[in-house]
Amino acid sequence: MAYGWEGERVRLAPLDADRHLENYLVWLNDPEVTEWLLIGDFPLTRLIERDWFERAERGSGDQIHFAIETLDGLHIGTSGLHDIDYRHGTCATGTIIGTKELWGKGLGTDATRVRARYAFEVLGLRVMTSSVLDGNERSLRMQQAAGYEVVGRIPGRYWKRGAYRDEILTCLTRERWELLSSNLQSNV
């Protein structure tokens, strides 16, 4: 049964604790997965994660969370739109590929492109922002492959595993996304 928003290789599916909670617990307690995230340095219990899932499944006006699944239904990560401001047409975004064996295979880029299509075509947003910690080259490459551009840097913004890290700010506008999307379609 197909559901959610499909890309070339992945689908953004609605969160479902029965299908996705166990993977979240494993991933968010894995120091390798959370190495560059602002979460993951304190143990995440089932109770805490179940509470988060219940809130996320109920939804709110300014947050949309998706499970990332391969087209054959394998749950591999999560992606979201945060702090959605419909008045100004903006939001912050984030993606985690938790299945480490699939890192570097373009699945995060596909999920990020699908999320952009959803944000711009369905929600009518005009600007999406994100960021990465300096040193997280994999995530930065993924965002840039999906069209995000580096727009700034905040020196020493976050403490992560023994050092203050710069935050690299990125942005994708609807205009840039439309241009890149039309170029992708014309090359097919």
Q: List, in order of start, the domains of the chain with CATH numbers.
A: 5-186 (3.40.630.30)
Note the pLDDT of residue 1.
45
Q: Which residue has the higher pLDDT, 186 or 158?
A: 158
Other beta carbons within 10 Å of 123: 14
Confidence of residue 188 (pLDDT cuts 50, 70, 90): low
Q: What percent of the chain clears pLDDT 90, i.e. is strictly above it?
A: 86
Distances (CA, A) of 1 to 48, 81, 142, 152: 31, 25, 28, 42
Q: What does the pLDDT average to over 95-115?
A: 97
Q: What does the pLDDT average to over 179-186?
A: 80
Task: State the chain's mean pLDDT as an integer.
Answer: 94
Q: What percent of the chain clears pLDDT 70, i.e. is strictly above it?
A: 96
Token pair of 79, please? 């992606």
Q: What does the pLDDT average to over 19-45?
A: 94
Confidence of residue 187 (pLDDT cuts 50, 70, 90): low
Would you say 49 and 24 are in contact if contact means Cβ atoms under 8 Å apart?
yes
Strands (E), the chain: 5-6, 10-14, 64-70, 75-85, 90-97, 127-133, 149-160, 163-173
Please state the pTM of the whole predicted model: 0.93
Ranges 38-42, 46-50, 66-70, 125-129: which has the least confidence: 38-42
